[in-house]
Amino acid sequence: MANKIIKEGAASIVRLDKSNSEFGMKNGFLTVKKGEDSYDRVFLHRTFPFDKPWEYISVIDPDNKEIGIIYDIADYDSETEELLRTELKRKYYEPRVKTILSLKERYGFSYWTVITEEERKVSFTMQDTFRNIIRIGDDKAILLDVDGNRFVIESIIGLDKKSHKKIELYI
């Protein structure tokens, strides 16, 4: 069955799972075969990036048309699941901040130097810091820098004391 139409009426949702779709890689790009149709390049979009990072993944073709929605990447075999997970991690690349080494505010910009979980020392600049720290729930935060890079703090309370003291003002 090529299409699993979940709801019909004014709009329809096409659910993708291992019974109707097959994902693969070609030249470093994600591909999908759905029934008779094959797509050489497809893109994955999280529909609920904060709540459900591995579920409700929209699969889009290069013309921005939705091919369908993966309800849960775990619905696929482990190899495909890993492939989808890697592709999603690449797209939603968000280094996790482990330590904040320095945080200085000057003339409307804040200058950060952090150590990520990959033990990389990264420096970045944020403008309008209050607005560009996106709080998710009570404890998680995403930092958006001037270039559009995203850094995530999984647990603000879990940061070491010195780091916490530095970010405290902005949260």
Partner 1 sequence: MVTFDKIPPYISDVFSHKGIEDIYLMAYCDMDNEHVYCDTYVALTKDRLYVTSGSVVLEGKEKGKGLDSFWKESTFVSYDIENIESLKVEELLSTARLTAKTTEGEYIFLSAMTNFCKGNCNLFVKYFGKIKKGDITTPDFEIDKEDDPKENSCPKCGMRYPDRNRKVCPRCMEKGKLFSRFGVFLLKYKIEMVILFVSLVFLTGTSILIPYFSNGFFYDKILDENSNLYGEIFLALGIIIFTKVFSVFSDMINGYISTKIAAKVVFDLKNTIFGAIERLSMSFFNGRQTGGLMTQVNDDSNTIYGFFCDGIPYFLINIVQVIVLCVILFIMNPLLAALSLITIPIFYIALRRTYAVSRKLHSRHYSGVRRMNSQLSDVLGGIRVVKAFAKENEESQRFYKSNRIAAQNNRKLALFNNYVYPYIGVILYVGNVIALGLGGYMVMKGKMTYGQLITFTAYVNMIYSPMYFFSHMIDWTASTSNSLQRLFEIYDTEPDITEKPDAVTLDDIKGRVEFRGVDFGYSKTKKVIDDVTFDIEAEHILGIVGHTGAGKSTIANLIMRLYDTDEGGVYIDGINVKDLSFKSLYENIAIVSQETYLFIGSILDNIRYAKPEATYEDVIYAAKCAGAHDFIIKLPDGYNTMIGFGYKDLSGGERQRVSIARAILRDPKILILDEATAAMDTKTEKMIQTALSTLTKGKTTIMIAHRLSTLRDAHKLIVIENGKVAEQGTHKELLELPDGVYNKLYTLQLEALKNAGITE
- Site of interaction with partner 1 (CB under 8 A): 27-29, 40-41, 89-94, 106-109, 111, 118, 120, 124-125, 127, 130, 145-150, 168-169
Q: Which is nearer to partner 1, 19 or 105 (CB)?
A: 105
Helical (H) or strand (E) element with 15? strand 15-16
Task: Report, in Å, the least distance between residue 55 CB and partner 1.
Answer: 18
Q: Which is nearer to partner 1, 61 or 75 (CB)?
A: 61
DSSP state of 170: G
The DSSP-derived string for 16-29 is: E-TTT-EEEEETTE
Task: Report, in Å, the least distance between residue 168 CB and partner 1.
Answer: 7
Q: Which is nearer to partner 1, 20 or 149 (CB)?
A: 149
Longest alpha-carbon distance in the chain? 59
Task: Work out the angle at residue 94's Cα, subtended by the Cα atoms of residues 132 and 134, and round it to the nearest 5 degrees.
Answer: 25
